[in-house]
Amino acid sequence: MRAHLHVRSFSRSRAWQLLPSAVLLLAVVALLVAQPSGHYGMVLAVVPFLAAAVHAVLGTALVGGLTVAAYVLLRHQLLEDGTAVWLIKLAFVSSAAALAVFVAQARVRERALSHSRELALALQEGLLPQHLPGTSAVLVSHRYVPADTDAGVGGDWYDVIPLSGSRVALVIGDVAGHGIHAAAMMGRLRTAVHTLADLELAPDELLARMDDLVARTGESEQRYELAATCLYLVYDPVTATCSMAAAGQPPPALLYPDGKVEFAVLPEHPPLGVGGTLFRTVDLPVAPGTVIALYTDGLLDLRRHHSDAALAHLADVLGAGDGSLDEIAERVCASPHNTTDDDIALLLARTRTLPPEAVVTWEYPASTQSVPEARAAVTRQLRAWDLTELAYATELAVSELVTNAVLYGSGPVTLRLIKDRVLICEVADGSDSIPRPRQARALDEGGRGLDLVAQFTDRWGTRPTGRGKTVWTEQALPRPAARRP
């Protein structure tokens, strides 16, 4: 069936390509049998424009040349006309053929631009996240509106990255320029942010790494104008705080539950790619139910409006009324203040907090007696949460992690359990040395602790804190049907 459709489509396109030649042949035959006293030779001026509608530049030029040649050969039918009149008519037909070539060039260029824009848009949509991950920290909604210009789509992008400890990272950015190169660079930056986010870096440290990456990429590819903006925000549902840093990106808007809208005050930093910038992280408490709006500068349209006026208008639109995140996003993107000259990326996140009974914290001195006490506390808490199926693996992980913190870290040792979509166990101490697994030999007495932790849990990792480090593990919660009474 597909083969028949392909043959039929090919036949139709072939027939359209032969149409100018067929019209030219019919016009020549008609002029040969027509009365010499008429001006029917002007019909030939239509043929090049028919060729420009279906052929490329070369095909149009060929058909136009044949048209002019046919008019020259038909000169013997215009015996009553003088040479001057014939030359005027010949100039008219020749001008029509030349104009048709220019029309074909414009059509080919327009098709090339349209094809390039479609490729860039397809690449942009393919590199953007199709489905953002669901988390217990935030509810999200997103929109991307491509620019309706010949320059093509830009490098606007957004992302939601789950982190350890039920935290979540909200990211938005914009690559300078338009077209396929900007979309491809956007995909590279998005991948780099994911990689650096897995290292649990603070927002200022992550942007510093990204700044160096963009600068080195511009030097290696000799694209010295390469630059990008980015805002990296980490929200913690346990403490209800945000940590954020920005590089050339507008500040996020905060829509509070009472309808009040404020913009976070961030230090002004240049875009990524300048190099040598000292970024600074800003911590901000956020009430539960607050909507955090991250957006690119295309939403503000700073080329036509002052920044203060644009931010004031955005605040009015955000606080115009209650509604779901999707309704707020539609209201913001449909504002008549927006234009189609630049891409628009919008990411909305409504914050949530974990219930108090889902988080338990203990603190122990850096003593070996703390290990059995930590195991006993974890066992009691898992029994209270009806998660006794995870008791053995969790006790083993807690025993190894608390032992490492006592022997190689500095006190006090903090143990925290979080019951979220997974069971999270965190052990924090005051040392900034990062534990690393190693391959223990057969006669070694130690060196197997982290290997056992990795085998008995689903995921584990470390993240630096302001006072040391935190080692965390995650285990999937058992299905309700599989639980023992």
pTM for this prediction: 0.77
Per-residue tokens: 123: 């690449």
Domain assignments of the chain as residue spans, ordered by start: 2-122, 130-351, 356-482
Q: What is the DSSP letter of 297?
A: G
* 342 three-state secondary structure: coil
What DSSP string describes 104-170?
HHHHHHHHHHHHHHHHHHHHHHHHS-SSPPP-SSEEEEEEEE---STT--B--EEEEEE-GGG-EEE
Phi-psi category of 7—alpha, beta or left, where left has phi over 0 and alpha has psi -120 to 50? alpha
State the pLDDT at residue 482.
Answer: 46
- Separation of alpha carbons 334 and 344, rounded Å: 11
Q: What per-residue string of b and e applies to 350-368 under the rule 16 or more CB within 10 Å gives b? A: bbbbbeeebbbebebebee
- Separation of alpha carbons 232 and 193, rounded Å: 9
State the pLDDT at residue 14.
Answer: 56
Strand order in the sheet with 261-263: 138-145, 344-351, 291-295, 253-255, 261-263
CA neighbor of 209 nearest in space, from 189, 223, 234: 189
Provide the residue type at 453 as one letter.
Answer: V
State the pLDDT at residue 32.
Answer: 55
CATH class of 130-351: alpha beta
Are 341 and 149 within 8 A, CB to CB?
yes
Strand order in the sheet with 459-465: 359-364, 413-419, 422-429, 468-476, 459-465
Element housing 359 (H / E): strand 359-364
Q: Please identify every stretch of the chain with a pLDDT value under 50, giving residue numbers as ranges.
A: 1-10, 443, 482-485
- For domain 356-482, give the CATH number: 3.30.565.10
Q: How far apart are the first and last CA of the chain?
A: 59
Q: What per-residue string of b and e applies to 306-344 under the rule 16 or more CB within 10 Å gives b? A: eeeebbebbbebbbeeeeebeebbeebbeeebbeeebbb
- Separation of alpha carbons 229 and 172, rounded Å: 8
In the block, residue with structure tokens 């052929």: 55
Phi-psi category of 301—alpha, beta or left, where left has phi over 0 and alpha has psi -120 to 50? left
| pLDDT tens digits along 115-173 | 666 766 666 666 677 778 888 999 999 988 877 665 556 778 899 999 999 999 999 99
Q: What is the DSSP letter of 251?
A: P
| pLDDT tens digits along 427-456 | 999 888 887 766 655 545 555 678 888 889
Element housing 460 (H / E): strand 459-465
Are 121 and 146 within 8 A, CB to CB?
yes
